[in-house]
Structure 1
Amino acid sequence: MLTVGDKFPSFDLTAVQGGPEGLKGPGKSFIQVTDQSDAGKWKVVFFWPKDFTFICPTEIAAFGKLQGEFNDRDAVIYGVSTDSEFVHLNWRVHNADIKDLPFPMLADVKRELSTALGVLDKAAGVPLRVTFIVDPEGTIMHVSVNGLNVGRNPQETLRILDALQTDELCPCNWTKGEEALKPEELFAKAA
């Protein structure tokens, strides 16, 4: 699996658009999203195992509710699974929790991005619940991985993005607005 410091791989995937544009139907709902899309922005790229399952929509909806917070931090969200764009569209249309999803759902049907990142579960052949935070230069700055049976916490992803964007030393449980660690002050106190 690629990790912190690695370059996020190039990709070119069909996606269901976020927002109301994504509900216009086949041929109108789809866009291409590449590694060059949203250039110069932070990217939060998260994978889920399968559409039409139970845990996945809870995570996807939770990321959607935080869309404005991520936008405020100059970050975009991309959700990815190995289901097709047609399956994504059908799921959005028929699931009230994700119907108004504001970000694109990328279709990695050939498993090219999942394989390049090394996120496929060896037994099930579907993506693990992996979240990447990628800086504007395309470098992976954070990776978290959950098994197939445990949902992640999008609020924690937002907290980590905040910490990464400070370019400071942020202690355990640090939240936006709190002081970062100042090594010179810590050494002065110890002397």
Structure 2
Amino acid sequence: MKKFIFYFLLSLVITSCSNDNLDQYSLPEIQPSQSLINELRSSRKKLNKTYNKENSTVKIQFHGQSIVYSIKSSRVEATLEGDFSDIDFEIINTARSGLQVPQLLPLIEEDIDGNSDVLFFHAYGGTEAGELIQYFKYLKDNFKGDVIIFNHHLSAPDDPEHHLKLTELEDKTSAQMEEIASNYSFGFIDVRN
């Protein structure tokens, strides 16, 4: 199961960067947190059953805003299927570019496929007025699989002044996201670190 989680994390890091020229960057080694491993109960159960059946499918949904919208399903599939050749992965991406949590909330029933095995989610906003809590509550009550939240990527690294301003705000809201995700027992990936 740890290998399964590692590849989910690796796929997420590789694909969540909209820049196709990743070779110029030195990415840190991925260390999954124990809380993430503990929260993937449904996926672990599904994967164990899948290994005992032919033609089984694990359905993965990505949702959120532009950084999630840019995730390339083909990269995720290639990474996972390379080491899990006996499993069919169905990858769906229902992200909506440019919409933050307050704008995504009214569309949640339309966007979220409650039958997916795993949902990866990231979007900005919603921590100030409580929309993120409403969003996560809906997921907890209506989504059958595992939910994995990831926090904000680093912004504007080539513009020190803008980077500092965004870093302070995004550090604060990322900590709030992690706390809310923990309250709902969702997996959490700390992309910022």
Same fold at TM > 0.5: no
Highest Rg: 1 or 2? 1
| Higher normalized strand content (fraction of residues) | 1
| Higher normalized helix content (fraction of residues) | 2
TM bracket, shorter-chain basis? under 0.3
Higher RCO (CA 8 Å, separation ≥ 6 residues):
1
TM norm structure 1: 0.28
